[in-house]
Amino acid sequence: MYSSRSPRRIRTVPASVREEPRNVYLDKIRSRNKKSKFFANPMLASTVLKLYFLPYFSDLYKTKEDNLRKSRYGNRSHSKSPIKQKYVRLADILKASIVKAQYELQNLQKALENVNLAKSQILNEIHTQKSVTLLKTSHLHIMNYSKKVFQIWVRNKELSRSSIQAKLLKYKEKSLNNKAKLMNLQKVHSDEKSSNEILKNKSQQYRHWYFLYQMISQLSGESLKGVFYSIDGLVNETNLEGKLKMIHNSTKIANNLLTQKLELFIINTVFASRQKSSYIEKSNQNAKYRQNIYKQLKSLKSSLIEHMDNMTSALKTSETDCETLFLSTKSKEKEIIDFSLEYEGMQEKLREAQAKQQSIKRELLCKLCNKVYYETENYNWSCSVHISQWSGAVYWCCGATNKDSIGCQKRRHEERKDEETEESLIFGFLSKEKDILKYCSNCRQTGHNSHECIYDPNSYNGMNRTRKHKIRVRNLNQNIAKKLREIKGSKSYRENFQDIDSIKTVLSTSVSPDISVISDGGISNRSGISARSGTPTFRGLR
């Protein structure tokens, strides 16, 4: 990237220009840039005199001279008359004025050559400025390329750092707005420059016209003086007065027109000077505003560089976190595999217990008469129960007076499903410790089974062990499912496994970044992160 602290080119101003005020120096530069338009010069005035004024007066002088010579001397040779001498003097004066005009014309041509040299110098300076602008445009292209690279980098970072991306977008919008403002200011400055040049051209035109009219009036006045003195001795006073009156009137009209043009020129020059001062003030304000914008751009560049450094450091830390998470996931996967193996061993043990219990009959407890029965011996008349309760002397349902009398209503036994008793039976069967929790269905006490009960007068008859085994297996599966749910909802699971799930989702949706685009400190291919096919599960669960 192009460094923001690159040295700026400073143009040295000559010592003669430093002493002059700024306004005069700017006027000189603008006058050099102006294209010279057509205007009257001394050469044109001399050609007009030669073609139109001198032939008219020379013909009059010749005719008068011939008439006087014939009247005085006839056809003889004559000496130089005083009229001829006067004519010669006028011609010499006109020749001298023409020589002066030619000398002034040569001086003007030299000045024009100097102006052309200055113009060529200014054109060279313009070419250098164009090269500088080309360098600036190349710098802008580099900045645009760096912006594109930055945008690509930000797209790859969106999933993890959304807040930072929003801030960067705000900074970009601010920089684009500042650029737009700068372009508008440059347009305004160029418009003001063009208007200043137009006004300067007009003022120069008025000046040229003013000096031309002065020169023409001086030349015409001198020529008219000579003509007046020459005609004074040749023509009568009456004719001369009429002609002079005509000439005087025409000169008055021309003088009035010139005075009006002079007034207009003075008004335009005053207006142009005011506009010039206002434009100079505006240009100074624009220069100050441009300096402020340049400072703001510098500060924005420095802040962006700092932000990029912070982002790279954050990326490095995130890489280290990803590696640690990858290692932790490997350890957790090993633990899950161990748990699954343990679960398979438990299932095998349960199958063995189920196979042992298939040969034993199951002993059930009736919830109505609280007697032990077998399902194979359960008939419609096996359970006998009184509908009413013992009142203390009589059963009101059948009128029996003995409390231990057989029930009046016959039905089938109904199994009593008590979760606590089932759990105690299951865990008592599975545990291999010495102090086993046992439950008796006859006396409803713990510590012994029904076949070990003291109050049971019957001989030992084994219960149906297959049903007990099924109950135990079902309860074990329920307990294992509950424990797994509790583990998934716990904080330790969230801290250890939720990061792995988020990394899987990121890897499944994100695009792999280009290493050539991202600078050092970005995501590397050595991080060891890869999307797995699915989450770890127990192979024994159904």
C-alpha separations of 409 from 369, 378, 413 in Å: 11, 15, 12
pLDDT of residue 337: 85
CA dist., res. 22 & res. 27, Å (int)? 9
CA dist., res. 206 & res. 204, Å (int)? 5
CB distance 226 to 90 below 8 Å: yes
CA dist., res. 322 & res. 310, Å (int)? 18
The amino acid occupying position 299 is S
Q: What is the dihedral of CA 287, 289, 292, 298, to 10 degrees?
A: -80
CB distance 297 to 228 below 8 Å: no
Which residue's structure tokens are 């060891």? 528
Per 3-state DSSP, what percentage of the chain is helix, strand, and coil (rounded to 5)? 70, 5, 25
Q: What is the pLDDT of residues 146-174, one digit of tens each?
A: 777 777 777 766 655 666 666 777 777 87
Q: What is the pLDDT of residues 121-139, one digit of tens each?
A: 888 888 887 788 877 777 7
CB distance 363 to 375 below 8 Å: no
Which residue's structure tokens are 């807040």? 163
pLDDT of residue 235: 53
For 159, residues 6+ apart whose C-beta sits below 8 A from its C-beta are: 506, 509, 510
The amino acid occupying position 501 is D
Q: Which residues of 14-51 are buried (b: 16+ CB within 10 A; e: fewer)?
A: eeeeeeeeeeeebbeebeeeeeeeeeebbbebbeebee
Least confident of 97-111, 126-140, 288-302, 409-423: 409-423
On the 0-12 / 13-18 / 19+ scale of CB atoms within 10 A, 167 is: exposed
CB distance 469 to 357 below 8 Å: yes
Give the residue extent of every domain in the chain: 39-133
- 297 pLDDT exceeds 50? yes
Average pLDDT, the chain: 70
The pTM assigned to this predicted structure is 0.22
CA dist., res. 94 & res. 222, Å (int)? 9
Q: How far is CA 347 from the centre of its chain?
A: 62
Q: What is the pLDDT of residues 37-75, one digit of tens each?
A: 545 566 666 676 666 666 655 555 556 566 666 555 555
- SS3 labels along 522-539: CCCHHHCCCCCCCCCCCC
